[in-house]
Chain A
């Protein structure tokens, strides 16, 4: 028996039991079957399963389900109460209108991303608060090169005034007098740019940091952004969860 690389799929086997296949499909499936004992066996068992299903007896009706006058009266009352009669027992898929599955999933995705971004930004801003003694010297050498990357953060919005100010600060602190300040400033931008590029990844602290110029003035403002995003994300997920269980 020749070994088959692929077997017929569940759907293909099932389709063989119906008359729904094109002549071409049927011929090609049959060709495989002739050479594949496993698929022959599976198909036979599948066919038998369907035969059993066909042979199941119809359950006897335990009683008549005709609506009693009381049931009818109550139903009529409820009908008049509802302004817009809604199909009872809506299927879960239609409980929300207009292809709600997609909307639900999209919103869930967005909320999750927002929450993740929020966490990333928060963490990054926390990192920026921690003083880094060793990076002050490297900050001085790369602050000269920071003028070029200045252009890109500018486009990310509200960066113009702060970046020019920070550039001055950078230059002013090159002699590493304000050793604590430079690392702050130098460390915030990479997180901003990573957030803006939707990386979702926390970048390693030292190497990338000093090459970029800050967008936001303070780490605390940054942290606030993170908190807001995280709050939106969590809120969104909670709200969606409620819809799911309804």
Chain B
């Protein structure tokens, strides 16, 4: 973030702490996409994620005086959001198998000939920019929802949202070592899940050897 923007944000935070709702809403406009993305990837349902995001933002405004200027505001906000998502998940996941079934009901491919439909269309360019098919996106989302919450948060924040290990540590209030461990285990677990359903992976996606 450039310096002027950072100072602007500081001002907005101070004003919010003094009860200026409009200032807080400026912050909302800036962070709502990130917050919603994290919550959505944690929970998987867009409507529920929207509710949880709104609740989290209200709670953030209510508790904004507890924000200390020393740390990243984004980390502080994402902490509230990810905790809200975790709370919601814990409260509603009495029958995890059932909720998974609900997700996979109409989306599970049944025949190998669907492979071509699922295969990467081979858009030119960087492998990282290739579009994932909807089915693969849904498979990854299901895989994410299989992860224990602490690993899920770490993977969502780091690999999906692009936060550094340090910022993930700040967001989750844990050590770098813990973050590294959770991310590693989350990635491995997700990989295991994806490869149990490997018929869904893009056909022409070659596994590259380590350089």
Residues of A close to B207: CB separation below 8 A: 41, 44-45, 48
- As a 0/1 sequence over residues 29 to 56 of chain B, the CB contacts with chain A under 8 angstroms (1 = contact) are 1001101110011000011011001101
Chain A residues with CB under 8 Å of chain B are: 10-11, 13-16, 20, 30, 33, 40-59, 61-67, 69, 71-72, 75-76, 78-79, 85-94
Chain B residues with CB under 8 Å of chain A are: 19, 21, 24-25, 28-29, 32-33, 35-37, 40-41, 46-47, 49-50, 53-54, 56-66, 79-80, 83-84, 86-87, 127-132, 136-137, 140, 155, 159-160, 165, 172-173, 180-181, 183-185, 187-188, 190-191, 194-195, 205, 207-210
Q: How far is the CB of A77 from chain B (nearest CB, A)?
A: 10
Residues of A close to B172: CB separation below 8 A: 91
Known A-B contacts A54-B128, A65-B28, A67-B28; A14 and B59 likewise in contact (beta carbons under 8 Å): no
Q: How far is the CB of B5 from chain A (nearest CB, A)?
A: 19
Structural contact, A14 and B140, CB atoms closer than 8 A: no
Give the total number of A-B pairs whose CB atoms are below 8 A apart: 160
Q: Which of B59, B132, B173 contacts A56 (CB 8 A)?
A: B132
Known A-B contacts A65-B28, A75-B58; A14 and B180 likewise in contact (beta carbons under 8 Å): yes
| A46→B193 CA distance, assembly (Å) | 11
| A62→B49 CA distance, assembly (Å) | 10
Task: Tell me the dominant secondary structure on chain B's binding face.
Answer: helix
Residues of A close to B61: CB separation below 8 A: 67, 71-72, 75
Known A-B contacts A13-B184, A49-B190; A88 and B80 likewise in contact (beta carbons under 8 Å): yes
Q: How far is the CB of B28 from chain A (nearest CB, A)?
A: 5
Residue in A10, A11, A15, A65 whose Cβ sees the most chain B Cβ within 10 Å = A65
Task: Tell me the dominant secondary structure on chain A's binding face.
Answer: helix
| A18→B191 CA distance, assembly (Å) | 17
Q: Which of B60, B173, B185 contacts A91 (CB 8 A)?
A: B173
Structural contact, B53 and A65, CB atoms closer than 8 A: yes
Residues of B close to A52: CB separation below 8 A: 132, 136, 140, 194
Residues of B close to A76: CB separation below 8 A: 19, 21
Known A-B contacts A49-B191, A94-B173; A56 and B46 likewise in contact (beta carbons under 8 Å): no
| A30→B137 CA distance, assembly (Å) | 31
Structural contact, A85 and B66, CB atoms closer than 8 A: yes
| A59→B161 CA distance, assembly (Å) | 12
Q: List 17 A-B contacts (CB under 8 A).
A: A14-B188, A42-B191, A45-B191, A46-B187, A47-B210, A50-B187, A51-B128, A52-B132, A53-B155, A53-B187, A53-B190, A54-B128, A57-B132, A62-B36, A65-B54, A67-B24, A67-B58
